[in-house]
Structure formats: C-alpha cells, structure tokens
Amino acid sequence: MRRYLCKKNCKLALDIPLYRSVVIGLGRIGFSLEGDKFRASPCTHSGSFAAHPDFDLVGGFDTDPEAGTDFLEKYPGICVGSENILEFLEKTRPSVVSVSVTSSAHLEILKALWEYQKKHQTILGILLEKPVGMDVKEALEIQKLCEEMKAFVVVCHDRRFYTEFQYYRDLIQNKKFGQLRHMRIEINCGSYAEGSGRRTPNLKFGGPMLHDGTHLVDLVQFLVGEPGWVQAMCTRSSKMIHTEDTCLGNMYFEDGRSVSFLCGGRRKYFHFALELGFEKARILHGNSQLIWLKRQKGGYFLEEMPVGLPEAKNPYLQRLNHLALGMQGKTESMASVQDGIRTLEIIDDIYESARSGGAMRATGKNPAYPPKAMVGRIHIKPLE
C-alpha cells in the first residue's frame, strides 16, 4: 500500500489506497461555493475530496447539465453525469458518496444508492447533507437504507468538526469557568418558501427552523446534550410566505441549564451567533465577533480577557479524517443518522409548541418534569 504525503490541515495520510469519491448534487455546498473568500478552503464536498490525500475525486452528478459542465471545467478528466444515476455509479464504482442534493431529494438518492449497493457493494462511506430528511418518518426510512448498505455515514452537521466548538464543549464539561447556566444561539437569515397563492392555516412548517435550524439544534445537543422541554413561537409575516420566516423560543434541561434561540428573522444577511453564559465568564462567538469576558478580580463586573482558542483546523478535512477512520472500523460516527433523527424530533416538538400557541412541550422518550420553579407558571403539553 502507498503512503501519501499530507496536505495542510490534514493529519498524516492513512496507509490505505485512495477512496474513490463522487459528489451527487453540484450546487453550493457540493461544488459551486469553492473559492468563496469568506469561507474556509476547501469548503465544499468536491473541494475537500480534491484536497485530501486519502480521497480521489472521480465523479460528479447533477440533474442540471450546466452544473456538470462547470464541474468538468474545474476538474477535467473525471466522470460527470446528469441523467441516469445508476449508470453514473456503474461507471465510477465509488467507495465514498457525498449526498449534497436538496433535502427533499435525499430519500430518492439513498434508494438509488441502495439499489446500486445490492449489486456491487463498493460503497463504504456516505457523507449526507443535513437535515437527514424532510421529517422524522422520511429520516427513519433513510436510516434503514443506510443500515442495509452497511456504510459508515456522517451527517454534515459540520460544527461538530470545528475546532472552536469542540473546545467550547470541553470548557463546558471541565467547568473551567464554572457551570454553564445559559446559552443564547441565533442563525439570522432570510430563507423561507414563497408561493403565488394565499397560505392556509394547516400548511406544514419547514422554513428556516428546519433547513438552517438543524445546525442550531444539533449544536445545542453537541455542546450541552438533549433538552427535556421546548417552548417556541413561529411567525409568517406575509400571506405569500408558505413556511415560517422566524422561529424563536427556549429549551430547558434537567440540570437547570437553559437555551434561548432564534432562527430566521427576515434578514438580508447570514449571521451565526453563540453566547455562553458561565458562572464566572461569558463568551460571545459569531461570524465576525469573538469576545471572552471574565469576572473582575475583587469585583462583580466583567472585563475582557485574552481569547484562548487552539489553532483552527479545516472542519471539512477533519470530517474526512473521521470518515476514513469510521470506514476502517476505528471509530463510531460523531455525527450519525441517529443524531440527525434526534435533531428532527426536537424540531418537530418546536413546531408543535408553536402550533399550540407557545405551550411548553416535553421532548424525548422519557422527559423528566420541569424545574419546580417553573411549575404553575407555564402550561405543560406532554408528548402524545
């Protein structure tokens, strides 16, 4: 077996043959965002495969032929498909597949991969974009297909692979600044579905809280665990909007921690913001902000302190390192399909709370009772 030289931000290359890799869906995260000056490089599925020493980018598939033409111009000499996905898989014989199509097409693509795997059994790993499916029922069907393919799956809740969020998780667990008491998390964006007709009261939710909030909810789970209760409100500001445009609310945990969140907000920009409120410190982290504050020595106010983050590593290359180890049976998935399903279940409970006028809703199979301080002040809606 060959040993390959490692590129920047990769660990030493693994003593394995190259993994033949294809990208299905050549849109923004699959291909076209590569080279964006505001993002890490690489930042797409295609760019990551091309940059990593243990993966060989051998093909790309998109139903839009123009996307395939642009892809071939960037990566000449590899296989491109736009019509028959099974024929594309037959030609490329991949060991790794990235599924970066729109969320509503995940199930269709996974069924095609399952059909191919029955005959050839070459697929060892799958990178599956978030959310896993459009709802829990669809996600469970996808989980079953993945299990039958016996592939190692990493769901692309990528903040789990960011150096800073892994470090924040360690801070929370080792209590360097005391107990984490509260977390505020926001994803400001303008994503929602518009239509030509008037909305109806029973339209299914599925706007920013699903498509962007999946990162928000997953990061909450990664940092502090699963909430026991959620409480939320959603808004639609126009009769022409067919999903919520904003969702805001709170999550409560058995140990007394709390999280406030907002997703959407009808913004003309994208911004991620996280605030960690410890007993003795406060951390503000966002796309253009990083401030650490600690309690003054001998006082009760906060003062700025030096930021103590370790050197950042490219999360998309770290994700591939993890995928490679998983395909060799050396680790469990740190972003599994089951994790993704749990995220969808919590989002469903958030939507159900909003439908109920903001009533507190228990989430999880065995939720504990809410803190005593909250009893009598809120209405608790149990799981049905």
What is the CATH classification number for the domain harbouring 368? 3.30.360.10
Given a cut of 50, whether residue 212 has pLDDT beyond it is yes
- 188/132 same-domain check: no
User: Of 108, 133, 156, which residue is a domain's last?
Assistant: 156
Q: What is the rounded CA–CA span in Å between residue 151 and residue 154? A: 10
Residue 178 domain-assigned?
A: yes
Q: Are residues 122 and 175 in the same domain?
A: no
pLDDT bracket for residue 192 (50, 70, 90): low
What tens digit of pLDDT does each residue of 64-76 get? 999 999 999 999 9
Residue 5 above 50 pLDDT?
no
Residues 300, 354 share a domain: yes
Answer with the residue of higher pLDDT: 183 or 374: 183
| Distance set, CA 75 to CA 43, 71, 96 (Å) | 16, 6, 18
Over the chain, what is the mean pLDDT?
88
Q: For residues 204 and 115, state if they share a domain.
A: no
- The alpha carbon of 366 is separated from its chain's Cα centroid by a whole number of angstroms, namely 25
| 138 and 253 together in one domain | no
Tell me: do 51 and 184 sit in the same domain: no
Model confidence at 352: pLDDT above 70: yes
319 or 372: which leads in pLDDT = 319
Q: Is the pLDDT of residue 4 over 60?
A: no
Look at residue 374 and tell me if it is in a domain.
yes
- What are the tens digits of pLDDT across the range 280-337? 999 999 988 899 999 998 889 999 999 999 999 999 999 999 999 999 999 999 999 9
The DSSP letter of residue 176 is B
Establish if 8 belongs to a structural domain.
no
**Which of the listed residues 105, 140, 156 is the one where a domain comes to its end?**
156
> Do 37 and 102 reside in the same domain of the chain?
yes
Q: Give Cα 123 distance to the centre of its chain.
A: 22
Please state the domain count of the chain.
2
- Whether residue 168 sits in one domain with residue 149: no
pLDDT classification of 381: cutoffs 50, 70, 90: low
pLDDT in tens, 108-136: 999 999 999 999 999 999 999 999 999 99
The whole-number average pLDDT for the span 87-96 is 97
- Going by C-beta distance under 8 Å and a sequence separation of 6 or more, which residues neighbour residue 353? 230, 231, 232, 249, 359, 360, 361, 381
Q: For the chain, give the percent of residues with pLDDT over 90.
A: 76
Instruction: Flag whether pLDDT at 22 surpasses 80.
Output: yes
What is residue 36's predicted lDDT score, i.e. its pLDDT? 87
Residue 39 CB coordination number (10 Å): 13
Residue 31 predicted with pLDDT over 50: yes
Range 56-61 average pLDDT: 97
CA distance 339 to 132: 9
For residue 1, is pLDDT > 50?
A: no
Residue 183 domain boundaries: 163-312+337-381
Q: Decide if 327 is inside a domain.
A: no
CATH of the domain at 30: 3.40.50.720
What is the mean predicted confidence (pLDDT) over 78-82?
96
Say whether pLDDT at 197 is over 80: no
The pLDDT of residue 333:
97
pLDDT confidence of residue 370? 56
| Tokens read off for 201 | 């009261």
Spacing of C-alpha 9 from chain mean position: 21
Clarify whether residues 356 and 207 are in a common domain. Answer: yes
β-strand 229-235 against 360-362: which pairing, if any? antiparallel
Burial class (CB in 10 A: 0-12, 13-18, 19+), 130: buried
Q: How confident is the model at residue 39 (pLDDT cuts 50, 70, 90)?
A: confident
C-beta neighbour count of 274 within 10 angstroms: 22
First vs last Cα of the chain: how many Å apart? 55
Residue 9 lies in a domain: no
Residues 175 and 303 in one domain: yes
pLDDT of residue 176: 95
Specify if 186 maps to a domain: yes
Same domain, 183 and 216: yes
Mean pLDDT of 50-54: 96
Q: How far is it, in rounded angstroms, from Cα 370 to Cα 178?
A: 23
Q: How confident is the model at residue 16 (pLDDT cuts 50, 70, 90)?
A: low
The domain boundary residue, chosen from 134, 156, 178: 156
Average pLDDT of the residues in 189-197: 65
Residue 4 placed within a domain:
no
Element at 186 (helix H, strand E): strand 180-188
Are residues 247 and 171 located together in one domain of the fold?
Answer: yes
pLDDT, one tens digit per residue, over 232-283 is 999 988 777 778 899 999 999 888 899 999 999 999 999 999 999 999 999 9
Residue 330 belongs to some domain of the structure: no
pTM listed for this prediction: 0.88
